[in-house]
Structure 1
Amino acid sequence: MTDSTETTRDYRETLFLPKTDFPMRASLPKREPDWIARWNEIGLYKKQRGAENAKGPYTLHDGPPYANGHIHMGTALNKILKDIVNRSHQMLGHDANYVPGWDCHGLPIEWKVEEEFRGKGRQKEDIPGSEFRTRCREYAAEWLDVQREEFKRLGVIGDWDNPYKTMNFESESIICGELLKIAGTGQLYRGSKPIMWSPVEQTALAEAEVEYQHKKATQIYVKFPVRKAATVNYVVKGTAADKLEEEILALQGASIVIWTTTPWTIPANRAISFSSEITYGLYEVEELAESEFEPWSSPGDKLLVADDLWEDVAKAGLISKSKRLQDVHNRLLTGMLCDHPLKDMEGAEGKFDYAVPLLSGSHVTSDAGTGFVHTAPSHGEDDYGIWVSNQKMLEEIGVDPVVPMTLDDAGCYTNVMPARLQGLDVIRTSGKKRGQDGKANAEVIKALMETGNIMARGIMMLRDAHSWRSKAPVIRRATPQWFISMSKDGLRDKALEAIDDTAFWPDRGRNRIGTMVADRPDWLISRQRNWGVPITLIVDKDGKLHTERNDADAINSRILAKVEEQGVDGWFDTPLEEFMPEDNEGWEKVTDILDVWFDSGSTHAFCLKRRDDLPDRADLYLEGSDQHRGWFQSSLMESCAIYGEAPYKGVLTHGFVVDEKGFKMSKSLGNTMSPEDISKQYGAEIMRIWTASSDWANDLKIGKEIIQTSADAYRKLRNTLRYMIGALDGFDGSDTVEHADMPALEKWVLHRLSEITAEHEGWVRNHDHKKIFSTLFNFCTVDLSAFYFDIRKDALYCDPLNSTRRRACRTVMNEIFQRLTTWLAPIMSFTMEEVWQARHPSEDGSVHLELFRSCPDEWRNEDLASHIQAVRDFRVKAQEAIEPLRREGVIKSSLDASVKAAEAGLSGPMKALGVTDDNIYANPSDPRDCLADYLIVSHCELSASQDDGSLSVSDLKDAEGYKKCERSWKYFQGEGEITPRDAAAVALFDKG
């Protein structure tokens, strides 16, 4: 420490400098796999299960990732966050048993396997179902193993040898059993409803599988001619009012105008909906605007439109002048019949001769369109609802209420349509134009032009439903499907009550999922694919389920036993007679499979409720915000339908990972980052710090600069811990100083530990890892490195070994170390293990087997903290005065300086702290703090004047009577080349 060439001795050997082999460089990419290997060798997961857990179990139930492809930053974030939660609760004193799981069924895997077989020249329809499913199972298993290693590389600890899988035979059997329980309660039914259908994937989709994107759409205005005598006779039946007769007669030759952005649904039209809250008028066209296109309207046309929308309709139809003939009251609309606009098209084959009734509906508004809504019950939720609710009236007027199946699985018109339309596709399902409009729209518009019933057309942008897998548009299509009723047996009410009883982080998640559940339709659970859990129902020709039979329990037992023995093939490959040996005439097995959301929604049944080492309900479900619509909700629905409660006590929702500018990551933008690349360059520990230091409640930004910021934070924390390891070299507790005997500075550090301890458990319970990390980081960098360690370096290096403040410093450092390493262990799991082993080497020990420590009540001292703060404020002022001299080269170090200042209220705090302004220690062999030590200067002089606290700094290098200590570098007055304190330390050192 000395640059003097005139001293008689090199005092560096007498300094008590920190000693450690702990490396400054972490080499995380290289060392992290070694720590993972060590945890496996010592059986850390099993040791945690066998530890004393006074606070009982804490169970975070894993939302299953999909076994298809490498993990990405979103899945890495999710697993790291779960691991931090689990490790934190384990160290609180819980048994935080984490069982990872995987979702293994579903369309993406099926697609990949189809591609494989096509690459070998084999088409799916030529492959036996059992062979196809076997390959799907193998494919999922391959990716499961890949992902398992990728998750373990992140430092995630759990029962990796015994994860749950939706494709385990036992799991598949239990999923089937859950379905049969629901069927047995009558909540399951088969219906023909318009559901989300993907022509590209040829399967039904749940709302959770749909996303909305902007697309160009063709909009058209279509005329529905009012029928003549039949309509009039029906409407005036029993009416004698002459006024009504006149109004009705005025409607002869008029047309109702509708607007739609799906021209292909016009052939499926069965009704027109109107609203009793809207005023309608009958308008006559008088003049048309000049245009390069010939208008489809003509002078004399009579059109029925909502008054509020007539100007928009007229503009679209190039109508420049018109007159309003009369009001069109609800009494005229109720029961009115129209002709179908394609009735007279070429090749109609009489298939559009049916009457089109008008139906009153609350879903009709005058916000856009014409005030009348084209109603195709096979292609819309509202359309279907209003159609079936009017079934009795439709039958009375001779309208067939059956909902037709107008499209097949590929989205092409069926033989319900005339030959001219049969086979035309709504959406292209293959080729370069996959997802674009097929031939149906163009042909329907052409036919409307032939009949003279198109009034206008155009192009507009709208948000439309797309499959989140294929990214192609989806349609609503009526098909026979299986549903779980939201109203029968009170499922909706049970789910809403369970939501009220659940804790949410952030709390806004409660409203989000609550609104979804309150408004959701019945749960569509069927799919028409191969790779999935079958709907293990047997149905007779009248639609009766086998669960309604007296021998249902016996049939169920045979089904579940076969699936548990053979997996899903046990259902598909077993003859019906084995399940239903008696009275099976006219009964058939259902061949549909379950929506994978039902699979994952049942994980609590085959994981939590099945394993002896887990409770029946989880303390926490933790996933991304999209799972309010997905796993959170499907688990809630499935559990409430059978058990009447949510499978979880709490739900935590994190945001999505975006780039540094807030944009969604995509390969096309070149803004993606992979967990593997970060692990190779920086180490997984840096991702763990990024996770803990981010606000998980919102979208999380990541990029090179952000990762570098986490790496810089890591380096500072590592250096702090490395310094403590070195400073505690040889400390075994024999030199411990009791709290009452400690200097004020050490007592203040213990006070800060008690403050953090008091808050820490609450932060853990509320999963506020950002608060934990930021608090600990600031504690290390501001309270310790920049203040406490900065002050205490002199005492630690230069005080006699047995001085009270040196021993107190090491006593406190030991307390800091014990708490800081455990507090940081859930976040920095690799480094804290390395740090712990550096001080507490053990063949089978681990920091992750430790518990968070409490603090004695005596450590808390708010008065002491306020006194220290007063001195810290003064210290900042002194540093601000010293720094310009250092920058200008007047002094090299703050020890070259002398500070003179007015007291400015410091006497009270200094007295309370036991700090003097005497620059010479009264007892050099056992020094007590002076103000100069806090300021890290050689001399400090306070005056008692009552001025504004002015402060001045002078250079001691050439000050008369001062010389520099060749050991501690402090300037002092007196004999010898080192201070009396340093002389006492050297004398003790020399004694050995």
Structure 2
Amino acid sequence: MPDQNSSDTQDRYRETVFLPRTSFPMRGGLPTREPQTLARWKEIGLDEKIIEAGQGKPVFTLHDGPPYANGHLHIGHALNKILKDVINRAQRMNGARVRYVPGWDCHGLPIEWRVEEEYRKAGRDKDAVPILQFRAECREYARKWVEIQSEEFQRLGVQGEWQNRYATMDFDSEAAIVDEIGKFLLNGGLYRGLRPVMWSPVEKTALAEAEIEYHDVTSTTIYVAFPIENDPTPGQALQGVSAAIWTTTPWTIPANRAIAYGPEIAYVVLRADEMTPESLVPIGARLLVAEDRVEDFCQATGIVEHHVLYTLPGEALEGTICAHPLRGCGYEFDVPMLPGDFVTTDAGTGLVHMAPAHGQDDFLLTRQYGIEVPELVQDDGTYAPWVPHFAGVHVFKAADPVCAALTEAMQRWTANGDAPAGLLARGSVTHSYPHSWRSRKPIIFRATPQWFIRMDGEQHLRAKALEALQDVTFVPEMARNRLTSMIEQRPDWCISRQRAWGVPIAVFVQKSTGEVLRDPAVMQRVVDAVREHGADIWYSADPASFLGPDRDPAEYEQVFDIVDVWFESGSTHSFVLGQDGLNFPADLYLEGSDQHRGWFQSSLLESVGTRGISPFKAVVTNGFVLDEQGRKMSKSLGNVIAPVDVTEKLGADILRLWVVNSDTNEDLRIGNEILKQQGELYRRLRNTLRWLLGALDGFTPEEAVPYNELPELERYVLHRLFELGGLVNRAVQTHQWVGVYPTLHGFCTTDLSAFYFDVRKDAIYCDAPDSLRRRAARTVLDILHRALCTWLAPVLVFTAEEAWNARFGEAESVHLQPFLEPEEAWLDADLAERWADLRAVRRIVTTELEGARRSGAIGSSLEARITLPLTEKESAAFSNVDWAELAIVSQADVEILTNAPSIYLNEAEPETLPGAPEAHGGPLVHQAEGEKCLRCWRVLPEVGTHDQHPGLCLRCVAVVEAQS
């Protein structure tokens, strides 16, 4: 026999095998390759080509919610922008012209606070800096961060019209914001009023709900006795009685103007007969509390023994007047008891002290009864000079002096034998309390003159907004209830801030009447001036230039409050959408779940208030990002994952893959281990693309096989592609991408790598180039490459481009391609069911082969011959199946069982048949008979029968001779 087993002969035959060849490397090297790809895209003008390719197509507009321009991107930014980019790219590849204009929120406290921090570090006094100079420094700070964040977003692979970005500090933007304020002014929706707002004593400004976060704090609690001055009840039940209240804000006692009771609540007058030594309650004191709160009240105040003197309904308290416990110390006013439907017996005493300047319920109830709203607390959180006993004290340090004053009051009142007034008990409670999310300091509720937009009244803003939401699509749908309930419950919209960096509420107020000037001509002059010079003109120009020749500026107050940044960002639709080819309403708004109380809400209210319709057709909400243990990220915990760290170590495609492999409808988790897992998933996807590219080496369109000539296996793979195409299309239409890419990954690993590639690699490597089986397989591989590259392109923007270029050259870009559109003919449910059964059988065979390999009975599966028992029905159903190829063995025999029950087919069978065995019997694994082919490695009896090529099987002989 010739030396066919020599290494030279093996090398010669190896050269005839069509092994995969591709320039697409196994390792991604993403941190190095991605910036090179970005540079190439810029060089070839890809963004311009994308815009040109979109001409004439239906427009899809995702309006960008503007991030603050005040620091490097965090992982939440990355999640949000990547998700937007995936949706935009998918819409474009599905046939839409996508106009994505990224934007930035450049005004307001976040940026002003950062500039002030620099002042503090340098020992500068912000109040001593001219306002126009300060605003210029804020503008420069914001400009710098807009440029930095823009580069960081682009490094993540986010595609957009970056040169056409919008910013709220652009002159045109500022003019549009002033114009939107003017529309509310002219339609009667804007007014100035006094009411409690969330106030930051540190930042000295009102805050919006969206600027608040909650932290646990320990607060001083006090029980206070208010002596009843009159007794409207029958039988003088309240004579010599004090109403007992409980509060967690002792600092609001000076602002008390009333006490609220529940008309439906039962109250008692109890007499304190015996107290603990530490108790502050005078012996014999008569106290009014809710019947349901007696036990807890006595325990908290140290009352050991008590006697209930009277029980009376809450409605009997109508007309009752109390004295302030600090009467005689400057608090010489009555404290009426008023019915309040918000009063409960869940805590406290069932009687609620009312400080109308520091609580919404307090304000509304006392105003209803014509009670004054005192302004006692200044913008820095200290009591005003006119506050008796506490002038200059900061409210957060007022617990001790207030308790001391109330203790003295108790001693003074009881010494005179009057009903007790003052401190009954002091304690503490740990509870959740609102803080400014910028300064991380607690806020207060403080009544100040502010500018509001009416939610109700003649404008019916609330009702119109709720009606507009009925036509909006929500993803997930449950988010609809969240936004709806917030709008149902919110008070009038406070839009004024007492700061310097922002768009001014550019209105005038007539000094003699206090009426706001509603003149369209004045408003238009302001808008035109801001468009030409920017909002600084409001601070530098002569007011007469706005008021016109017919009005005396001395008669008008020029308002210098700035507008809430949520109003600014909420009005971005007015200067971004509806022009230059951008849809209004936008097809989609997409932000984090916190924006139901922020941007989603402000955008809706602003648009409905000025245009009568919602600015968005659909709203998608993504969750927050937590660490691997489900904790909030913080520097103190050392669990912060920054986008730049991921791109530098792993690449942006890994971060993008994490986004789409997560359930973005819920809170997401990220960490080193999770990113490591994403890297492994990426490796599998990359290997799939690499194998496709290698197996398609040299493929030409002339090689393709028509669908009706394809073998069953290829048609089954195309059926699976049709199903996946439907999944992608549904995601495009619904904006619901959760689960889509995990399914694609599963298809690549389970259907392709572990099944189809495995089965067909022998044909691709070893069949003749003109064989139908090889041509058919490569026809499907060509379709698979185009499908996977385009379907993966919205996510793996760099890798999909690399896989496309590796085949078609760098002159092409996958991002200019449409999604591969599966053909209707590919849908074949009967064929899919048949191959589902075949794959089930294959799994059983593979399990037996693996067992034989572990036992040493065989080496590789190609050393095996299998005997597969099948019933007559199974044999008929599985006709024309090459079991050797399907199981990747060298030889396969089918043993026909008569009258045996089927175990491989999904059909009902009798439990027993006459003469049938109890069970099928599994597939049997034997050593294959014959010799190993030196080219394809199959073991066959025919190897050695050809004189010229005794080391080859007959198939390989034919292929080798055709090449010679």
Range of TM-score over shorter length: over 0.9
Aligned equivalents of 1:512, 1:819: Cα separation in 2: 38
Most deviating of 766-775 and 22-31: 766-775
Aligned equivalents of 2:538, 2:7: Cα separation in 1: 95
Superposed displacement of residue 828, structure 1: 0.5
Aligned equivalents of 2:430, 2:250: Cα separation in 1: 15
Aligned twin of 1:240: none
TM-score, with structure 1 as normaliser: 0.91
Give the AA of the match of 1:383.
D
Decide whether the 8 Å contact of 2:227 with 2:322 is kept in 1.
yes
Decide whether the 8 Å contact of 2:68 with 2:110 is kept in 1.
no
Is 1:586 the counterpart of 2:555? The answer is: yes
Is 1:982 the counterpart of 2:956? The answer is: yes
Give the AA of the match of 2:267.
Y
Decide whether the 8 Å contact of 1:20 with 1:729 is kept in 2.
yes
Superposed displacement of residue 450, structure 1: 4.9
Q: 1:531 aligns with which of 496, 501, 505?
A: 501
Aligned equivalents of 1:121, 1:682: Cα separation in 2: 42
Decide whether the 8 Å contact of 1:340 with 1:354 is kept in 2.
yes
Superposed displacement of residue 967, structure 1: 1.3
Aligned equivalents of 2:295, 2:202: Cα separation in 1: 39
Is 1:275 the counterpart of 2:262? The answer is: yes
Most deviating of 461-470 and 78-87: 461-470
Aligned twin of 1:731: 699
* Cα offsets for 1:872-903 (capped at 9, x unmatched): 11211111111122223332210100101211
* Cα offsets for 1:939-980 (capped at 9, x unmatched): 1111112353323444436x4xx1111211111123132111
Aligned equivalents of 2:447, 2:408: Cα separation in 1: 24
Is 1:311 the counterpart of 2:268? The answer is: no
Decide whether the 8 Å contact of 1:763 with 1:771 is kept in 2.
no
Aligned equivalents of 2:404, 2:159: Cα separation in 1: 60
Superposed displacement of residue 443, structure 1: 5.0
Superposed displacement of residue 722, structure 1: 1.0
Is 1:265 the counterpart of 2:252? The answer is: yes
Superposed displacement of residue 454, structure 1: 1.1
Is 1:473 the counterpart of 2:442? The answer is: yes
Is 1:898 the counterpart of 2:842? The answer is: no
Percent sequence identity over aligned pairs? 47
- Give 3-state SS (helix, strand or coil) of 1:379's partner: coil
Aligned twin of 1:460: 429
Is 1:869 the counterpart of 2:836? The answer is: yes
Aligned twin of 1:686: 654
Q: Please show how residues 320-359 of structure 1 align to structure 2 within 5 Å.
A: 320-330=304-314, 332-344=316-328, 348=329, 351-359=330-338
Aligned equivalents of 1:755, 1:199: Cα separation in 2: 59
Superposed displacement of residue 544, structure 1: 4.7
Aligned twin of 2:419: none
Most deviating of 563-572 and 690-699: 563-572
- Give 3-state SS (helix, strand or coil) of 1:14's partner: coil
Aligned equivalents of 2:513, 2:218: Cα separation in 1: 42
Give the AA of the match of 2:585.
R
Q: 2:392 aligns with which of 413, 418, 423?
A: 423
* Cα offsets for 1:81-124 (capped at 9, x unmatched): 11001000000100111110000111121122123234444311
Aligned twin of 2:41: 39
Aligned twin of 2:909: none
Most deviating of 692-701 and 967-976: 967-976
Superposed displacement of residue 330, structure 1: 4.7
TM-score, with structure 2 as normaliser: 0.93
Aligned twin of 2:527: 560
Q: Where in structure 2 are there 5+ consecutive unaligned residues?
A: 414-421, 901-916
- Give 3-state SS (helix, strand or coil) of 2:363's partner: helix
Give the AA of the match of 2:866.
V
Aligned twin of 1:574: 541
Aligned twin of 1:404: 374
Aligned twin of 1:431: none
Superposed displacement of residue 910, structure 1: 2.7
RMSD: 1.8
Q: 1:111 aligns with which of 81, 90, 113?
A: 113
Aligned twin of 1:363: 342
Aligned equivalents of 1:831, 1:629: Cα separation in 2: 38
Decide whether the 8 Å contact of 1:625 with 1:654 is kept in 2.
yes
Say if 1:68 and 1:502 are closer, same or farther in 2 by CA, change over 3 A: same
Superposed displacement of residue 339, structure 1: 1.0
* Cα offsets for 1:778-810 (capped at 9, x unmatched): 111111111111111111111111111111111
Q: 1:746 aligns with which of 714, 718, 722?
A: 714
Most deviating of 271-280 and 865-874: 865-874
Superposed displacement of residue 46, structure 1: 2.2
Most deviating of 139-148 and 54-63: 54-63
Aligned equivalents of 1:641, 1:143: Cα separation in 2: 32
Aligned residues: 924
Q: Where in structure 1 are there 5+ consecutive unaligned residues?
A: 236-243, 392-400, 429-436, 916-929
Say if 1:308 and 1:690 are closer, same or farther in 2 by CA, change over 3 A: same
- Give 3-state SS (helix, strand or coil) of 1:890's partner: coil
Superposed displacement of residue 439, structure 1: 6.3
Aligned twin of 2:571: 602
Decide whether the 8 Å contact of 2:262 with 2:315 is kept in 1.
no
Q: Please show how residues 183-194 of structure 1 align to structure 2 within 5 Å.
A: 183-194=185-196
Decide whether the 8 Å contact of 2:932 with 2:938 is kept in 1.
yes
Decide whether the 8 Å contact of 1:868 with 1:909 is kept in 2.
no
Say if 1:438 and 1:134 are closer, same or farther in 2 by CA, change over 3 A: farther
Q: Please show how residues 491-570 of structure 1 align to structure 2 within 5 Å.
A: 491-542=461-512, 544-548=514-518, 552-570=519-537
Say if 1:466 and 1:16 are closer, same or farther in 2 by CA, change over 3 A: same
Give the AA of the match of 1:271.
A
Say if 1:456 and 1:15 are closer, same or farther in 2 by CA, change over 3 A: same
Give the AA of the match of 1:47.
K
- Give 3-state SS (helix, strand or coil) of 1:784's partner: helix
- Give 3-state SS (helix, strand or coil) of 2:311's partner: strand
Give the AA of the match of 1:941.
D
Q: Please show how residues 523-922 of structure 1 align to structure 2 within 5 Å.
A: 523-542=493-512, 544-548=514-518, 552-581=519-548, 582-584=550-552, 585-609=554-578, 611-843=579-811, 845-904=812-871, 905-911=873-879, 914-915=880-881
* Cα offsets for 1:465-522 (capped at 9, x unmatched): 1111111111111100011010021100111111221101111110001110000111
Give the AA of the match of 1:282.
V
- Give 3-state SS (helix, strand or coil) of 1:554's partner: helix
- Give 3-state SS (helix, strand or coil) of 2:744's partner: helix
Superposed displacement of residue 225, structure 1: 0.9
Decide whether the 8 Å contact of 2:570 with 2:602 is kept in 1.
yes
Decide whether the 8 Å contact of 1:748 with 1:864 is kept in 2.
yes
Aligned equivalents of 2:923, 2:733: Cα separation in 1: 49
* Cα offsets for 1:542-563 (capped at 9, x unmatched): 5555543xxx122112111221
Superposed displacement of residue 658, structure 1: 0.7
Aligned equivalents of 1:443, 1:152: Cα separation in 2: 60
Decide whether the 8 Å contact of 1:576 with 1:588 is kept in 2.
no
Superposed displacement of residue 855, structure 1: 2.5
Aligned twin of 1:922: none
* Cα offsets for 1:738-792 (capped at 9, x unmatched): 1122211111111111222223200222233342212211111111111111111
- Give 3-state SS (helix, strand or coil) of 1:427's partner: helix
Aligned equivalents of 2:360, 2:615: Cα separation in 1: 30
Aligned twin of 1:397: none
Superposed displacement of residue 440, structure 1: 5.3
Aligned equivalents of 2:52, 2:539: Cα separation in 1: 43
Decide whether the 8 Å contact of 1:264 with 1:444 is kept in 2.
no
Aligned equivalents of 2:584, 2:849: Cα separation in 1: 64
Aligned twin of 1:490: 460
Superposed displacement of residue 842, structure 1: 4.4
Give the AA of the match of 1:142.
K
- Give 3-state SS (helix, strand or coil) of 2:134's partner: helix
Aligned twin of 1:434: none
Aligned equivalents of 1:264, 1:898: Cα separation in 2: 89
Say if 1:19 and 1:6 are closer, same or farther in 2 by CA, change over 3 A: closer
Most deviating of 362-371 and 439-448: 439-448
Superposed displacement of residue 4, structure 1: 3.3
Aligned equivalents of 2:208, 2:319: Cα separation in 1: 36
Decide whether the 8 Å contact of 2:510 with 2:517 is kept in 1.
no
Decide whether the 8 Å contact of 1:405 with 1:416 is kept in 2.
no
